[in-house]
Amino acid sequence: MKMNKLFLGLGVISMAVLLNACGDDTVGTAPDITFDDGSEITLGDGVSSMAVTGTIVAEEKLDEVTVFRVTGSDETQIGNYTSFNAGAITTTDDLNYNFRIDVADITEDISIKIEAVDKEAQTATKSIDIKVSAVPALKPAFTAVIMGAQSSTLGSCLDANTGLIYKIAADEAKGHAADIDILYYYGSANMATLVAPNDGTVDGTSGDFTWTSSWSPKNATKFAESALDFSAVTASQVNAITGLTASKVTDLTVGETVVFETAAGKKGILTVTALTTGATGQITVSVKVQE
């Protein structure tokens, strides 16, 4: 009987050791990392910084979170966190973590990689791509583009993409309606005026000119006067032009600068370099436009 009790006791101890050993081998779930913006972000025109945000859900408390900036094959650590009560990565219950990683000086496509390690040494890694919007280059400036007013013998219509000038007479301009972005006239009220083909003062709906009344299409170029330096303007500055609503700019003078966006979505800038007033006068402008 004593021998049986001894064997029974050894059996119970063995079973306990076996169960404990099995418990030690159990592997839990690694942390789960989620970015609020999915897997890719494309920055807007002119934007070079942003905050990468998201959550980490852990089955065990986190031990460490490391953040890397990845450019091509180069990987640079930009943050390492072991305390989560304040700062870039925070938690209120040690299982759900919120992160906000501020990233600056983004001038090319990069990725942000987050690596989370919990108290059981389980590791999770996830990345998000940040894309930089391509900035169209500027074509070489069109120099000394000359447009005549309504009674001039020069053409009054400009294709801003090529620099070609067309005359209203004999429907020359009408035959190139799809290409024409800007017209010029000198009015008694508006004085020296650059205008879109769809503006009422040239299509006969609200002015004396009916130049574009039968054109198809009537391109809807938008304009605004600008303080940009024409001679030093960059492709990025032109690409950042937004919010243009006017279909004409009036009372132009020598030295004045105008930005525009064509109906085809190309942005540009021009400056007035010479001007002779009146219906028989002419305007000279230099133009830079996106490729």
The DSSP code sequence of 110-126 is EEEEEEEEETT--EEEE
Q: Which ranges of the chain have pLDDT less than 70?
A: 1-27, 144
Decide if 18 is inside a domain.
no
Say if residue 160 is in the same domain as residue 125: no
Provide the token pair at 103.
């990233």
Say if residue 151 is in the same domain as residue 248: yes
Say if residue 213 is in the same domain as residue 273: yes
Say if residue 271 is in the same domain as residue 156: yes
Give the residue from 112, 131, 150 where a domain finishes: 131
244, with CB counted inside 10 A (0-12, 13-18, 19+), is middle
Decide if 137 is inside a domain.
no
What is the reported pLDDT for 24? Answer: 52
Say if residue 111 is in the same domain as residue 194: no
Buried b (16+ CB within 10 A) or exposed e, 132-142: beebbebbebb
Q: With a threshold of 0.75, does the pTM exceed it? A: no
What is the reported pLDDT for 21? Answer: 47
Cα torsion 202, 204, 208, 212: sign = positive
What is the reported pLDDT for 27? Answer: 64
CATH of residue 85: 2.60.40.10
Decide if 22 is inside a domain.
no
Domain span at residue 115 reads: 32-131
Decide if 9 is inside a domain.
no
What is the reported pLDDT for 7? Answer: 46
Say if residue 241 is in the same domain as residue 107: no
What is the reported pLDDT for 267? Answer: 97
Q: How many domains does the chain have?
A: 2
Decide if 17 is inside a domain.
no
What is the reported pLDDT for 118? Answer: 97
Give the residue from 100, 131, 162 where a domain finishes: 131
Say if residue 279 is in the same domain as residue 157: yes
What is the reported pLDDT for 163? Answer: 93
Decide if 11 is inside a domain.
no
What is the reported pLDDT for 192? Answer: 96
